[in-house]
Amino acid sequence: MHATPDADAAARLQQQIAARELPCAVQWLADIDSTNAEALRRVRAAPASAPQCLVAGAQSAGRGRQGRSWVDADDSAMMSLAWPFAPGAAVGALSLAVGVWLAQALQTERRVVCPDLPGRGESDWLENPALYQIPQYASDMVTLIARLRVRQVAWVGTSLGGLIGMALAGLSRTPISQLVLNDVGPALAPEGLLRIASYVGQQMQFDTPEQAAAALLAISQGFGPHSEAQWMALTRPMLRPSGGGWRLHYDPALAQPFTASTAQAIAAGEVALWQAFDQIKAPTLVLRGKESDVLSPQTAQAMTQRGPRARLVEFAGVGHAPTLVQGNQVAVVRDFLLS
């Protein structure tokens, strides 16, 4: 990428956006003070009716978290996306991550980073599927946090993300300053694990995104009630075009370590996770769906008495796991993180 706009690169980017059915026009800038600032200036001057994507080859005065400068010289690219919504519209998600509504609610007050784990989303697939396990994920997150150049991190983890968060927060020199564990704990109920094992890693193929949404809804009843727009917003980023249809955007092989686990290995993992949990010093919030088949009431209560003596909040009418989409779920987490 160069400061001089590259017509071929612009065309390729526009093709990628069109392939994802995003009604967004790309505008290339040789250099700018800040793509975010420029996007805001344009919206304030003339509110847009369609999304605008600004890409700059060089940025001279961007501002990041806590006032840190965020600049880029030549041979890189900075991008901002302005996406207008009609008054009263149901605002969906632009990310694969469950809990993106929470991220949107926090991003004006916190820097929000939502990584795709290996084998998922835009991250690479591992050559050795045996590495799709917590030690590898935790190691990757240690590297990511170091490259973010931050001293402290508030970690919000759903299911597997929570297990990784426990592993990180239990380290002696952890950067985790606050921890939210969403429907997960050191001990996982066998019935929930069996249910997840029945579908994880399946190579699902769909004719349309709507068909995919219906299929995923059938195996995700524990997520609780969602509007049609909310559910499609959760589903759409999980799909990629494939052979004239659509497929889930993950490596099917990531299920191999999970489905190959023995009772002995699961028991050893539980001991290790309780040891990590007991070492956690960071303020910890545990969320639980009252109908959860993964985090039992007994384990959730034990988490309030051990280690960080977590605060427990349960949501009625939800199983595994709260999606952090509904307003009451977002409010609980937001208040905890910003208190």
Number of domains in the chain: 2
Residues 172 and 249 in one domain: yes
Residue 76 within a domain: yes
Residues 171 and 227 in one domain: yes
Give residue 301's domain range.
100-338
Residues 113 and 234 in one domain: yes
Taking the C-alpha atoms of residue 172 and residue 86, their distance in angstroms, rounded to an integer, is: 48
Look up the CATH number of the domain holding residue 248: 3.40.50.1820
pLDDT digits (tens, 9 = 90+) for 60-90: 765 443 344 444 444 455 666 665 544 433 3
Averaged pLDDT score across all residues of the chain: 83
Task: Please give the pLDDT value at position 54.
Answer: 76
Cβ atoms 134, 257 nearer than 8 A: no
Taking the C-alpha atoms of residue 250 and residue 88, their distance in angstroms, rounded to an integer, is: 34
Residues 188 and 298 in one domain: yes
Domain finish residue from 82, 117, 149: 82
DSSP 8-state code for residue 250 = B
In sequence order, the β-bridge partners of residue 178 are 154
Residue 309 within a domain: yes
Task: Please give the pLDDT value at position 34.
Answer: 76
Task: Please give the pLDDT value at position 101.
Answer: 54
pLDDT digits (tens, 9 = 90+) for 284-335: 999 999 999 999 999 999 999 999 999 999 999 999 999 999 999 999 999 9
Task: Please give the pLDDT value at position 261.
Answer: 85
Which has more confidence, 204 or 58? 204
Look up the CATH number of the domain holding residue 13: 3.30.930.10
Task: Please give the pLDDT value at position 98.
Answer: 46
User: Cis peptide leading into 18, omega within 30 of 0?
Assistant: no
pTM score: 0.70
Task: Please give the pLDDT value at position 122.
Answer: 87
**End-to-end distance of the chain based on CA atoms, in angstroms?**
42
**Nearest CA to 325 among 230, 236, 239?**
230
Residues 70 and 207 in one domain: no
Taking the C-alpha atoms of residue 54 and residue 38, their distance in angstroms, rounded to an integer, is: 8
Residues 23 and 157 in one domain: no
Domain finish residue from 56, 82, 108: 82
Residues 57 and 104 in one domain: no
Residue 1 within a domain: no
Residue 89 within a domain: no
What would the two tokens of residue 267 be? 């028991």
Residues 126 and 56 in one domain: no
Residue 152 within a domain: yes
β-pair type (245-248, 205-206) = antiparallel
Task: Please give the pLDDT value at position 32.
Answer: 80
Residue 2 within a domain: no
Domain finish residue from 34, 49, 82: 82
Residues 43 and 177 in one domain: no
Q: Write out the DSSP string of 114-135.
A: -PPPTTBTTSPPPSSGGG-SHH
Taking the C-alpha atoms of residue 134 and residue 265, their distance in angstroms, rounded to an integer, is: 13
Residues 112 and 69 in one domain: no
Residue 15 within a domain: yes
Helix axes 160-169, 263-278, angle to 10 degrees: 50
Residue 215 within a domain: yes
Contact residues for 167 (Cβ-Cβ < 8 A; gap 6+): 134, 135, 138, 273, 276
Residues 55 and 115 in one domain: no
Residues 127 and 274 in one domain: yes
Tokens 């690479």 -> residue: 124
